[in-house]
Chains A and B, each alone.
Chain A
Amino acid sequence: MSKNLYQPVNSEIVDIIDESPTIKSFVVVAEEPFKFKTGQFVELTLPGEGEAPFTPSSSPADTEKMEITIMKAGRVTALLHESQKGQKVGIRGPYGRGYPVDDYVGKEIYIVGGGVGLAPIRSLFLTLVDRIQDFKSVVCRFGAKAPDDFIYKNTLFGAWQNIDGVDLKLTVDEANGDWNGNVGVVTKILNRGDVDVRNAVGVVCGPPIMMKFATLKLLEFGFAPKDIYLSMEKNMSCGFGKCGHCMLGKYYVCKDGPVFTYEQIKGYRNIWD
């Protein structure tokens, strides 16, 4: 008999990091070895309360622990935000298909991210940086509502700015405090000359509206739909293509995604809703 698909691995929240007024990162250690590939997601259970899908934001290379960055957006995430170090949780997974990093070798990787969408992107970024010489360049354009809303501030404003092979630019919708960088939505800092579309892939993750307009912008730059990778947020529940909640056209986002090329999903209705 195969093992119970619905049984989470007992785990514990060992640390909680405040990222922004509405976003925290939870460091989770599982009782059993738990490996994932960048872009795959897990189902995190708060016992007795509920379960929700999240893409880990840490590097898959760190097999001791996993970081999950969570925005307070609904009932379960609000309860998670109230939890303390030592909270017992369950994790199932990892599920789905992540970023096909090996397919990006030799190319420029144009990453557009916004808000809590930087969570999956951080995992991808760390994976790419680990083998940065394999890629022509990693070009990042990240946005947040206001400077304080950026997550991973320490690295984003610090170490990540100074990695050879990485070109990172940030923007905020509304500046305040001592922000003297770009102001405007993230699509405003996307420029045709940022990458050579003939040898580049686009990666987009963020709020639905941002994903829509960033994708349109990349198409306008000449990206082929098959070269734009989108991490789709749908209502993934079982994680293995049975319960049906996350279906996007013929795809189960949990099993066939959550990373899709725009080519795969462009024909379906309401993909950004």
Chain B
Amino acid sequence: MQTVFVSELKPFFDAVAEQMDLYVPKKTGAHYIYDKYDPADEAAVQFNNIRACTPVKEFLFPLRELAAVFPESLEPEEIRPFAVFGLKDCDLRSIEILDKVFTEEEFEDSFYIARREKMFIISSDCSEPGTSCWCTFSGGQPHAEKGFDLNISMVGNGFVVEVGSEKASEFVEKTKDLFAEVPAEALTERDAARTEARRRVDDNNAEYTLDEPANEVVAGGYESDVFDMESQKCVECQACTRVCPTCHCFYLYDTKREDYFAKMKMWDSCMRLAYAEVAGGENPRRVLGDRIRHRFMHKFAYFLDRYGINMCVGCGRCIDADSHKMDLRVVLKKLNEELKGAKEAKVAK
């Protein structure tokens, strides 16, 4: 992989913004959220040491969009090329998961694909993983090795830039005056930082180690009371599914406009009471515990079964967002202990 070096972010951001819309993470309170880059705003040049608190899905699958109109048909609008800076490995893996759903053969979502094709991904290493970060649990790590156009690692005197795609190669070629050769010590420094970040995540999560793969732990606990117990703490705010970068449920609804009818598509949440309700009033997940159970089963077992990939990237956003601190890791650990207990009891018999 081609690797180059840039000593400052500002000229790099400006060069990207000249070619496409650029979105950058901006510190707001304790978290980063995305905003369009403004070259005149010095504060817009930040290296986010952790993922943003908002999910990357908002760039590909907006909160609300027009999906169809009548009586004329609707095709996706022309999307301007855009870049997103500061995505982390967990974000890139969430894109991989969304791709499975929205680019599935036979049922390709043309709106998603229109955006995906125009997206230029500039990821960066996670230098300070948070206490809720548990990416290593699901096969990730605090730095990306694939899935990006460019990846940025911050080192003492600048930034190491890895070039991960043809598109990115062209960009670097076009703006080669910006870049220098990578100093040898920069790579050593980068690798040491990566090892340290990984160690932090591992340390964070040492107590949540499972005895079996998560899908088996969850499937084994399908009838467990743990979900109902957890439901007593849940206030049904649905924040967990909104901030989740892989949750992709949506709601279709029809509406009237001045001179046409529209079909809209909007994010939805499987935690919502009426989510699965049918016209006659029946609802297989009327009970909150059943909705929580379904969310876990979908995340850790059903999706894997269908697409061969775990639907949780371990970004920890849902843990941060949950007002009553429901922690996926704790729930999995409880299920793990139950399963272990049941197995031991069986052996004892």
* Closest CB in chain B relative to A264 CB, distance in Å: 13
Q: Main secondary structure on chain A at its contact with chain B? A: loop
Once A243-B249, A247-B298 are accepted as A-B contacts, the answer to whether A234 and B276 lie under 8 Å apart by CB is yes
* Closest CB in chain B relative to A252 CB, distance in Å: 9
Q: Identify the stretch in B41-49, B73-81, B166-174, B320-328 within 8 Å (CB) of chain A at 4 or more residues.
A: B73-81
Range for the number of chain A residues in contact with chain B: 35 or more
Question: Does B156 touch A at the CB level, under 8 Å?
Answer: no
Q: Which residue of B lies closest to A269 (CB)?
A: B290
Question: Does A225 touch B at the CB level, under 8 Å?
Answer: no
Question: Does B225 touch A at the CB level, under 8 Å?
Answer: no
Q: What residues of B have a CB within 8 angstroms of the CB of A250 in the complex?
A: 297, 301-302, 305-306
Question: Does A249 touch B at the CB level, under 8 Å?
Answer: yes
* Closest CB in chain B relative to A71 CB, distance in Å: 8
Once A50-B254, A241-B107 are accepted as A-B contacts, the answer to whether A73 and B279 lie under 8 Å apart by CB is yes
Cβ proximity bits B274-298 to A, threshold 8 Å, 1 near / 0 not: 0111111011111000100110011
Are B254 and A47 in contact, with the CB atoms below 8 A?
yes
Are B71 and A88 in contact, with the CB atoms below 8 A?
yes
* Closest CB in chain B relative to A235 CB, distance in Å: 5
Range for the number of chain B residues in contact with chain A: 35 or more
Question: Does B113 touch A at the CB level, under 8 Å?
Answer: yes
Q: What residues of B have a CB within 8 angstroms of the CB of A249 in the complex?
A: 297, 302
Q: What residues of B have a CB within 8 angstroms of the CB of A10 in the complex?
A: 70-71
Question: Does A103 touch B at the CB level, under 8 Å?
Answer: no
CA distance A3 to B270 in the complex (A): 28
Q: Which residue of A lies closest to B278 (CB)?
A: A235
CA distance A48 to B256 in the complex (A): 5
Are A50 and B253 in contact, with the CB atoms below 8 A?
yes
CA distance A256 to B75 in the complex (A): 27
Are B73 and A48 in contact, with the CB atoms below 8 A?
no
Question: Does A77 touch B at the CB level, under 8 Å?
Answer: yes
Question: Does B2 touch A at the CB level, under 8 Å?
Answer: no
Question: Does B102 touch A at the CB level, under 8 Å?
Answer: yes
- Selected contact of B282 from candidates A90, A208, A238, CB within 8 Å: A208
Q: Which of A1-37 contact B (CB under 8 A)?
A: 1-8, 10
Residues of chain B touching chain A, judged by Cβ–Cβ distance below 8 Å, are 67-68, 70-71, 73-76, 101-102, 104, 106-111, 113-114, 222-223, 248-256, 261-263, 265, 268, 270, 275-280, 282-286, 290, 293-294, 297-298, 301-302, 305-306
Extra contacts besides A3-B110, A269-B222 (7): CB < 8 Å: A48-B255, A51-B263, A73-B279, A74-B279, A241-B107, A242-B109, A244-B249
What 10 pairs across the A-B complex have the smallest Cβ distances?
A: A74-B279, A6-B67, A47-B261, A244-B249, A48-B256, A250-B302, A240-B107, A73-B279, A48-B261, A270-B284
Residues of chain A touching chain B, judged by Cβ–Cβ distance below 8 Å, are 1-8, 10, 45-52, 73-77, 88, 90, 207-208, 233-235, 237-238, 240-250, 269-271, 273
